[in-house]
Amino acid sequence: MRNILQNAFATCLFEIRSSFTVQRTSVSLVLALFPPVMLGLLILGARLSRNGISNSIFQDFTSLLTITLIALVSLLSLILWTTPNVSAELEGKSWVFIASRPGGRLSIFLGKYFAACSVSFGICIIAISLCTLLIDSQIPNEDAGRFWISLCGIFFLACLVYGGIFSLLGTLFIKRAMTFAVGFVIGSDIIMGSVPGVLMNKFSIRYHLQEISLQWLGWFLPGSSEEGYRLVFGEGYSVTVHILIILGVTLATLSLGAWSIVNREYITAHEV
Amino acid sequence: MIELKNTTKLYNDVIGVNDICLNLQAGTYGLLGPNGSGKTTLINLILGQLKPTIGSVTLFGVNPWKKSKLLRRVGLCPSVEVNYPRATGLEWVTYMVQLHGFRFTAAEKKAKEALEFVGLTHAMNRPMRNYSLGMRQRAKIGQAVAHDPDLLILDEPFNGLDPIGRHEMSDFLKSWASQGKGLILASHILHEVEAINPSFLLISGGRLLASGSPAEVRNILADTPYELTMRTSAPKQLATLLIEHCEIESVRFTSKTEILFSTRSAAQLFKIIPELIHQHQISITEIRSTDDSLNTLFSMLMKLHRGELLQGGRS
């Protein structure tokens, strides 16, 4: 086990070092800056219109927008980094070098997962920090620190669990892993997670992250009440249970992915 | 060292290797076959990267598909190109050694030793995108030998190397073989493998057509027509002399200065040429062997295998 983690860590470092091309760094920067830029434009628009939006609504709305935009970029980053975990090695013909090492397959799977989580969480931290600063610069709030920490915690969990799911999809579907990942997000988190069924939406990752957000950040959705939300989505569990569910799903998907990558034949085109 | 029992590998309806039985003790082996003959598939079966559809494979007495730990004892230099343009040779080889379970410091030390062994110390801190084909080939060899394996498997190691590089590669392989460690050298070019003096495994169409010592393979080759192109100032005179002194099957004048000979006695031809050109003061500017001899050999072996050709003679 120590060897596997040691090799995975080596792969993670090698992956991050050799992947930071101008192109990839630019993509990561664009992703990190997209939420604060969008938020900045929105704030500018609101200031220019001078409609007299109340501070409370303004803060709730910008917080919600921040979460939505960061969720979008973190998912995009994770999809870009994790889903090609096997296909990139097969296409780049480097698979054979890694797979012919003891535990090489596991190392590449876990190493790329760690690299994806690190980079995506890094993007999230930059975006969260800039957005928090932006909101705080408009309406100074003593809870800004708590907001920052809570969001970092939520997106850390999100990176872990979605990284695991997308890594698993990368080992199962070599050619269309990205499509399947986008399909999963739309099917599970957008459609299933929004279905007003008490049981069904609990199977989506979004439900658990949403529950943690509500308990950590409090109710801040403008123009609605928590009672109405509970009527549709049902009562949640404690934060610990939601975190345990998320960690459980992460562990399960990583185990399945590890089993799949070790026990599957990956055939490169030049072999046939 | 390696045992294959009735091993067959199918890629859906394509046969990769077909009913191969092998028992290889530690030593030097040349795995010869035309492109697409199943050499890489056979290597991947030996390394446990592929699971046989039928039959079994053992490496050092263990099923490699189930026990990847034994890959610690194997070094592989695949035929594919290294594709880490931004990484330096040292970074890449260190990473490859780390994946064998070494800590970074130990892995870096081994990587430096291996790169020195393959003569790449001077360029080890340069990104690999700046390496020539020969340098990348050396880096590949470096990552294969850095962890001091018991068995070294090289798939087409001469690909893309210039004559000096080929000579250096031959020297390296000879020195490796002299250490008494296992070596499997897969190639589609006979004379390059022959220089290492291994036991041959001849594979074509996924089948093991023949195996044996160099002498045994030479016996098979003795019956194989050998084609040789010569460029000379006196083609007609040279052709006449060679027909008089040697068993020539056919002669074709391909241009005003070029002749293509076909013979089943290549050794006799090579012996007589220097004597004839010395006696008759004929100038030969080029002697070129078409590598078709290997294709001819495989074609003959396939015919033998199918019973279309009687051993030692023509159909």
pLDDT of residue B207: 85
pLDDT digit string, tens, across residues A228-244 = 777 767 777 888 999 99
**Residue numbers in A near B43 (CB within 8 A):** none
**Residues from chain A contacting residue B80 (CB–CB below 8 Å):** 93, 96, 268, 270
Average pLDDT over residues B290-315: 57
Q: How many CB pairs under 8 A join A and B?
A: 88
Is the minimum CB–CB distance between B105 and chain A shorter than 8 Å? no
pLDDT at B256 over 70: yes
Q: For tokens 């086990």, what's the residue?
A: A1
A69: its two tokens: 């935009």
Rounded to whole angstroms, how far apart are CA atoms B315 and B303? 9
User: What pLDDT, on a 0 to 100 scale, did the predictor assign at position A159?
Assistant: 95
Note the pLDDT of residue B269.
81
pLDDT of amino acid B206: 84
The mean pLDDT of B55-61, rounded to a whole number, is: 90
Per-residue pLDDT at B165 exceeds 50: yes
pLDDT at position B312 over 50? no
Per-residue pLDDT for A111 more than 90?
Answer: yes
- The pLDDT mean for chain A works out to 85
- The predicted pLDDT at position B168 comes to 80
Instruction: Tell whether the model's pLDDT for residue B310 goes beyond 60.
Output: no
ipTM over 0.90: no
Residue among A98, A101, A271 whose CB faces B41 most closely: A271
- Cα pseudo-dihedral A161, A166, A167, A173, rounded to 10: 150
pLDDT for position B314: 40
Place of tokens 């991947």: B44
Residue A162 confidence (pLDDT) above 70: yes
Is any Cβ of chain A less than 8 angstroms from the Cβ of B253? no
Residues of chain B contacting A115 with CB distance shorter than 8 Å? none
Q: Which of B44, B50, B84 sits opposite A94 (nearest CB)?
A: B84
Residues B38-57 pLDDT 10s:
888 999 999 988 999 999 99
pLDDT at B120: 87
Question: Rounded to whole angstroms, how far apart are CA atoms B86 and B130?
Answer: 9
For B308, which DSSP code? S
Give the separation between CA B39 and CA B33, rounded to whole angstroms: 7
Mean pLDDT of chain B: 83
Neighbours of B23 (CB within 10 A): 10
Radius of gyration of chain B (CA): 22
Buried b (16+ CB within 10 A) or exposed e, A40-64: bebbeeeeeeeeeeeeeebbbbbbe
Which residues 114-173 on chain B approach chain A with CB closer than 8 angstroms?
Answer: 143
- Give the burial string for B278-312 (b: 16+ CB within 10 Å, else e): eeeebebeeeeeeeebbebbbebbeebbeeebeee
What pLDDT is stored for residue B299 in this prediction?
65
Output phi, psi for A52, to 5 deg: 70, 45
Tell me the nearest-neighbour CA distance from A182 into chain B, angstroms.
Answer: 28
| Backbone phi, psi, residue B13, to 5° | -100, 10
**Residue for token digits 């592989």?**
B76
Tokens describing residue B91: 């970074």
Q: What is the pLDDT of residue B308?
A: 60
The pLDDT value recorded for residue A122 is: 93
Does the structure show a pLDDT above 90 at A123? yes
pLDDT average, residue stretch A255-259: 94
Confidence of residue A129 (pLDDT cuts 50, 70, 90): very high
Is B250 in contact with B190 (CB distance < 8 Å)?
A: no
Q: What are the distances in angstroms from CA A251 to CA A11, A21, B119?
A: 20, 31, 45
CB atoms B51 and A265 under 8 Å: yes
Q: Check: CB of residue B80 under 8 Å from CB of residue A93.
A: yes
- Whether residue A153 is predicted with pLDDT greater than 90 in this model: the reply is yes
Partner-chain contact A272 B87, CB within 8 Å: no
- The pLDDT tens digits for A13-38 are 988 887 778 888 898 899 999 999 99
User: pTM (2 decimals)?
Assistant: 0.80
CA–CA distance, B231 with B286 (Å, rounded to integer): 5
Instruction: Tell me which residue in A98, A100, A267 faces B47 most closely, judged by beta carbons.
Output: A100
Residue that wins the pLDDT comparison between A2 and A149: A149
B65 touches chain A (CB under 8 A): no
Name the least confident of A146-150, A180-184, B172-176. Answer: B172-176
Tokens 């990956």 correspond to A266
10 Å CB burial of residue B15 (0-12, 13-18, 19+) is: middle
- What residue ranges do the domains of chain A occupy? 2-271
B69 and A107 within 8 Å at the Cβ level: the answer is no
Q: How confident is the model at residue A258 (pLDDT cuts 50, 70, 90)?
A: very high
Contacts of A271 in chain B (CB under 8 A): 11, 16, 40-41, 44
Q: What is the DSSP string of chain A?
A: -HHHHHHHHHHHHHHHHHH--HHHHHHHHHHHHHHHHHHHHHHHHHHHHT----HHHHHHHHHHHHHHHHHHHHHHHHHHHHTTTTHHHHHTT-HHHHHTSTTHHHHHHHHHHHHHHHHHHHHHHHHHHHHHHHHHHHS--TTHHHHHHHHHHHHHHHHHHHHHHHHHHHHH-SSSHHHHHHHHIIIIIIIGGGS--TTGGGGSHHHHHHHHHHHHH----TT--HHHHHHHH-----HHHHHHHHHHHHHHHHHHHHHHHHHS----GGG-
Any A CB within 8 A of B50 CB: yes
Confidence band of A156 (pLDDT split at 50, 70, 90) = very high
The angle at the Cα of B81, spanning B80 to B84, to the nearest 5 degrees, equals 130
Using an 8 Å CB-CB cutoff, list residues of chain A that contact chain B.
3, 6-7, 10-11, 14, 17-18, 21, 92-94, 96-105, 107, 262, 265-268, 270-272
The better pLDDT of the pair B160, B29 is held by: B29
Task: For residue B88, give the chain A residue with the closest CA.
Answer: A18
Model confidence at A58: pLDDT above 90: no
Give B71-104 pLDDT, tens digit per residue. 899 999 988 888 788 889 999 999 999 999 899 9
- pLDDT band for position B187 (cuts 50, 70, 90): confident
Look up residue B70 and give its DSSP letter: G
pLDDT, mean of residues A263-272 = 71
pLDDT tens-digit map of B215-234: 776 676 666 667 788 888 88
The 10s digit of each residue's pLDDT in A59-83 is: 777 888 888 888 999 999 999 989 9
The domains found in chain B, sorted by start residue, are 2-213 (3.40.50.300), 223-298 (3.30.70.260)
Cβ–Cβ below 8 Å for A17 and B68? no
Q: Is B74 within 8 Å of chain A by CB?
A: yes
A271/B82 CB distance under 8 A: no
Tell me the shortest Cα–Cα distance from A126 to chain B, in angstroms: 26
Task: With CB atoms and an 8 Å threshold, state whether B86 touches A21.
Answer: yes
Structure confidence at residue A94 (pLDDT)? 85
A231 or A6, higher pLDDT? A6
Q: In this model, does residue B313 exceed pLDDT 50?
A: no
